[in-house]
Amino acid sequence: MKKQDKQALLHSIGAKIMAYAKNELCMSARFLSSAVGYAQDTDVEDLPTPVTICSMATNGAYVVYDSKILLDLFEQDPKLVTRQYAHLLFHCLYRHFAKAPLVENSLAWDVACDISAEYLVDKLGAENVRDIKGEPKRYSYYDLYLKKVPLLSAEHLYEELKFLAKAELKDLEKIFKRDDHSLWLSRGDGKGANSTKSGERPDQANGDREGVDEKQGDKETPLQVENAGGYSFDEGFGSLSFGTERGKLKEIEEDWKRISERVKLEIESFAQEYGTQTLDLRRIINVELKTTYDYREFLLRFMTLKEIMKEDLTQFDYIYYNLGLMMYGNIPLYDHLEYALDHTLEDFVIAIDSSGSVFYDLAVNFLEECYSIVAQATSTRRRINLHIIQCDSAIKEDVLITGYDDFTRFIKRFTLRGGGGTDFRPVFNRVEELKKSGKMPNLKGMIYFTDGKGKYPEKPPSFDVAFVFYGNDKNDLNVPPWAMKLVIEGNGK
């Protein structure tokens, strides 16, 4: 067989292996289907500019693979190829490839990304991506770092790894490295992501390279970018130029961010089917997407649109008004309406977790924001019927606010009362009593500010409820399905 024919056959086999890996991954993790296939597959031999990689690499827009190394890996165990693709896909979902320029220690960042990606692949629990040989070592390090960081995301891990010696990082690299990072963005100082020698599998990396191949010195490989007054993709990549065909870095990042959001939505839509295997995947996606909400908009869910006595300036017609003044002196032909449709909130409850896990400043900020919204949504000619309840494992305070003066006096003397355990049920019982007694006949709902760690009611109440959590890592809490949930920034705004 001619050399060209052998090369064509090898390329055909490489493409089929890649297709096999994608199909296997989609069968075991259907929620990743929207992510599979975004990056275009390209054999390294088809590139107009020579690139040296180990088996598989990506920069977010393309997946470049070496068919020969891929075939060797497939013959060893097809699961290893599927696992490598899944590992690489998690790098893309969390946009690891674009964050390399933002770190000082590129080797520590590479290792942090690899540990996070491997952890997520293992958490899939799928047999067709399982690598039994390396499991004991991997799981021992998972346990070790879960004691040090709240979540095995690349950012959390990097904060721990950046202080390790190079030799220690190289040892970790040998355990967790799967793909090649040489196509990731460089930091603009000639020390980009690590790579291995041509023909060397990921588990054979011997530490010859920290940032750039020593043989190449400071020369960047094609597909990388330089950071000089902004990111610009290398135009020397011929027909596969990122700058003209697939867009700039920010566009690719945004694409992967949208894909991450779709993956998150898919997981949450079928949470019972996927069970706990995707819990960490969801948590890390939420951290990456910085999933927080503005409760100014959120409170609108508890409001009712009704007609109230209020000047409606939106319906005011200046043409007829001025015409009357011009023709008849001080007699306008048309005046504004004295009633308007607006959002109102007559009866409402704000509950504060006073168990000691909620900070005073956060609680005050939250109360001030909520009151300003409730006051604006209440007619100036009607009383506000707002109960502010503090509770740890029992109710410590229940204050009725009927207007601005009441709230001003309350907030001046406000202190968190409690410090015990957290039990949400006493508040629910109190609010049900207020509603049944007629003290809150138009109760629309309750919003509960807490860290989320407490005893929830087993049955849904007769009113709407929202739990508001502060911080980024609150998406794993066992909130009842009948309750709304949102996360706000750590500063309470």
Q: pLDDT of 19-29, one tens digit each?
A: 999 999 988 88
Instruction: Name the DSSP class of 230.
Output: S
Output the CA–CA distances (angstroms, integers) from residue 144 to 140, 148, 149, 170, 235, in the order listed: 6, 7, 9, 17, 43
Query: Is 390 within 8 Å of 397 (Cβ atoms)?
Result: yes
According to the model, what pLDDT value does residue 192 have?
38
**Starting from the edge strand earliest in sequence, which strands make up the sheet with 62-65, in order?**
40-43, 62-65, 56-58
Confidence of residue 188 (pLDDT cuts 50, 70, 90): very low
pLDDT digits (tens, 9 = 90+) for 167-182: 999 999 999 999 988 8
Residue 471 gets the label, from left (phi > 0), alpha (psi -120 to 50) or beta, of left
Q: Which of 54-58, 308-312, 335-339, 409-413 has the lowest mean pLDDT?
A: 308-312
Query: Is 380 within 8 Å of 403 (Cβ atoms)?
Result: no
28 CB-near residues (< 8 Å, 6+ apart): 124, 126, 127, 128, 129
Average pLDDT, the chain: 75
What's the average model confidence in pLDDT over 455-468? 88
Task: Pick 388 or 31 by higher pLDDT.
Answer: 388
Output the CA–CA distances (angstroms, integers) from residue 419 to 86, 171, 359, 415, in the order listed: 45, 46, 11, 12
Q: Give me the residues paired with residue 233 across strands.
A: 225
pLDDT digits (tens, 9 = 90+) for 143-162: 999 888 877 888 889 988 99
Query: Is 161 within 8 Å of 178 (Cβ atoms)?
Result: no
Q: Which of 372, 362, 371 is nearest to 449 (CA)?
A: 362
- Residues 343 and 470: their CA atoms lie apart, in Å, by 26
Query: Is 152 within 8 Å of 145 (Cβ atoms)?
Result: yes
- Residues 18 and 368: their CA atoms lie apart, in Å, by 55
Apex 59 CA angle, 54 and 60, nearest 5: 130
- Residues 179 and 326: their CA atoms lie apart, in Å, by 79
Output the CA–CA distances (angstroms, integers) from residue 99 to 87, 94, 287, in the order listed: 17, 9, 15
Confidence of residue 436 (pLDDT cuts 50, 70, 90): very high
Confidence of residue 218 (pLDDT cuts 50, 70, 90): very low
According to the model, what pLDDT value does residue 200 have?
43
Position 390 pLDDT exceeds 90: yes
According to the model, what pLDDT value does residue 166 have?
93
Q: Which of 130-134, 197-201, 273-277, 452-456 has the lowest mean pLDDT?
A: 197-201
Number of helices (H), then strands (E), belonging to the chain: the values are 16, 13
Task: Pick 414 or 331 by higher pLDDT.
Answer: 414
Task: Pick 232 or 430 by higher pLDDT.
Answer: 430
Is 396 strand, coil or helix? strand
Query: Is 25 within 8 Å of 81 (Cβ atoms)?
Result: no
Confidence of residue 222 (pLDDT cuts 50, 70, 90): very low
Position 323 pLDDT exceeds 60: yes
pLDDT digits (tens, 9 = 90+) for 9-19: 888 999 999 99
According to the model, what pLDDT value does residue 338 have?
65
Is 218 strand, coil or helix? coil
What's the average model confidence in pLDDT over 242-263? 71
Confidence of residue 377 (pLDDT cuts 50, 70, 90): low
Phi, psi of 35 (to 5 degrees): -90, -35
- Residues 231 and 114: their CA atoms lie apart, in Å, by 24
Q: What sign does the CA torsion over 151, 153, 156, 161 have? A: positive
Q: Which range among 111-125, 202-216, 445-459 has the greatest average pLDDT?
A: 111-125
According to the model, what pLDDT value does residue 235 have?
34
According to the model, what pLDDT value does residue 233 have?
36
Exposed, middle or buried, 458 (CB in 10 Å: 0-12/13-18/19+)? exposed
According to the model, what pLDDT value does residue 243 have?
36
What's the average model confidence in pLDDT over 212-233? 34
Position 134 pLDDT exceeds 70: yes
- Residues 20 and 30: their CA atoms lie apart, in Å, by 15
Q: Which range among 207-211, 294-298, 308-312, 392-396 has the greatest average pLDDT?
A: 392-396
CB atoms within 10 A of CB 70: 25
Confidence of residue 139 (pLDDT cuts 50, 70, 90): very high
Complete domains list, the chain, with CATH: 3-289 (no CATH), 295-488 (3.40.50.410)
According to the model, what pLDDT value does residue 216 have?
37
Token pair of 164, please? 């390790």
Position 236 pLDDT exceeds 90: no
**Does the pTM exceed 0.75?**
no
What's the average model confidence in pLDDT over 200-220? 39
266 CB-near residues (< 8 Å, 6+ apart): 30, 31, 33, 34
CB atoms within 10 A of CB 129: 23
Distance of CA 210 to the CA centre of its chain: 29
Q: In this structure, which amino acid lies at residue 274?
A: Y
According to the model, what pLDDT value does residue 191 have?
39
Query: Is 32 within 8 Å of 22 (Cβ atoms)?
Result: no
According to the model, what pLDDT value does residue 114 have?
95
Q: At what angle do helices 3-28 and 78-93 cross, to 10 degrees?
A: 70
The percent of residues in the chain predicted with pLDDT above 70, rounded, is: 67
| Residues 247-257: b if buried by 16+ CB within 10 A, e if exposed | ebbeebbebbe
